[in-house]
Amino acid sequence: MGEQSLVLTERRDDGVAVVRLNRPEVRNALNIATRKALAEAFTGLHDDPEIRAVVLTGNDEAFAAGADLNEFIDADPIEMMKRRTERYWQAVAATPQPVIAAINGYALGGGLEVAMACDILIAGESAQLGQPEVRVGIMCGAGGTQRLTRAVGKYQAMRICLTGKPISAPEAYAIGLVSQVVPDAEVFETALAMARSIAKLPPLSIMQTKEAILHADNTALDAGLALERKSLQLLFASQDKTEGMRAFFDKRRPEFKGE
C-alpha cells in the first residue's frame, strides 16, 4: 500500500472535509508514514477558505488501535528524538477549523491521543478508549498524560494511564472524555451532520471561539477573559457580524462569507 492511500481526504461541497485513516488491515495502526500523511492532510486544510469544519475518522472496526509497534521495538532514544513525531499531532491540534473525531471500535494509545487533539469527540456505544502503553514497557508520548488529564482530571487520568485498561464509550462520556455517544451505525453521520451545522455558521466567529476555548487550558482566568473580550470586539469589524444581525431582524437566512 502506498503512502498516498494511508489517509484519504474528501473535500465536500458543503464546507466540510472528511479525513479518513486507511490501514484497515492493522486496525489503522499509526506507523510513521500514516502519521506523516495525516499531518500533510490537515496542513493542506488549514488555509482552505472553502473548508469550515473537518471530520476525522477511521472505519467501523477501529478509529486507530495505537502505534505500530514494529517501528518501536528496536528503536533507541536518539532515533526516537530525531523522529520528532510530535509535529504530526500538532498539525491536527493547530487546525483553525473545528475538528470532530468520529470514533468507532478502538481508539487506543496514539489513536486516543490524536482523537484528543481534535475539538469534539463522538463515539459509538461499543467503542473502547484507552492508553495501554505501560503494558509494553513505555508510556504516552503524544498527549496522553497531558490532554487526558486536562479532560478528565488527575485521578481518572492516573487510572487510565497506570492500568492501561481501556474504558467504554459510555464511561468515557461520563468522565468528560467524549462529547457524545451514539449507536455505532450512527457515528459518522452524527459527526458529519454536526460538521455541516458548524460549517453554516460564520467562520470567523467559529475560529475565534475555538481559539479562546483552547487557551482556557493554560491561561489564568483574568488573561483568558481578556482574550475572550478582545476576540469578541474583533468580530465587530466583520461583515458577517452585520449580515448575521440584519438577517436576524429581517427574519431571513444569513449568507456568511468569512469576511
Using the predicted structure, report yes or no on whether residue 2 has a pLDDT greater than 80.
Answer: no
Give the whole-number percent of the chain exceeding pLDDT 90. Answer: 86
Q: Contact, 45 vs 95, CB < 8 A? A: yes
Instruction: Summarize pLDDT for 188-210 with one digit per residue, the tens.
Output: 999 999 999 999 999 999 999 99
The grid cell for 249 is: 431582524
pLDDT at 85: 77
Range 3-199: architecture per CATH: Alpha-Beta Complex (3.90)
Q: How confident is the model at residue 78 (pLDDT cuts 50, 70, 90)?
A: confident
Domain 203-250 in the same topology as domain 3-199:
no
Q: Contact, 16 vs 195, CB < 8 A? A: yes
Instruction: Summarize pLDDT for 99-155 with one digit per residue, the tens.
Output: 999 999 999 999 999 999 999 999 999 999 999 999 999 899 889 999 999 999 999
Chain-wide mean pLDDT for the chain? 94
Q: How confident is the model at residue 82 (pLDDT cuts 50, 70, 90)?
A: confident
The grid cell for 173 is: 462520556
Say if pTM beats, i.e. exceeds, 0.85: yes
pLDDT at 81: 81
The answer to whether residue 3 is catalytic is: no
Range 203-250: architecture per CATH: Orthogonal Bundle (1.10)
| CA 112 to mean position of chain CA atoms | 10
Q: How confident is the model at residue 38 (pLDDT cuts 50, 70, 90)?
A: very high
Of 3, 25, 40, 133, the catalytic one is: 133
C-alpha distances (whole Å) from 220 to each of 41, 215, 227 are 33, 9, 11
Using the predicted structure, report yes or no on whether residue 87 has a pLDDT greater than 80.
Answer: yes
Given the C-alpha cell 479518513, which residue does it identify?
Answer: 20
pLDDT at 75: 79
216 Cβ contact list (under 8 Å, min separation 6)? 224
145 Cβ contact list (under 8 Å, min separation 6)? 139, 157, 161
The grid cell for 253 is: 437566512
Domain boundaries, the chain: 3-199, 203-250
Q: Contact, 134 vs 87, CB < 8 A? A: no
Q: How confident is the model at residue 67 (pLDDT cuts 50, 70, 90)?
A: confident
Closest CA to 209 of 187, 254, 240: 240
Q: What is the DSSP letter of 71?
A: G
The answer to whether residue 113 is catalytic is: yes
Of 61, 113, 171, 243, the catalytic one is: 113
Q: Contact, 187 vs 150, CB < 8 A? A: no
Where is pLDDT greater, at 163 or 71?
Answer: 163
Partnered with residue 182 across adjacent β-strands are: 124
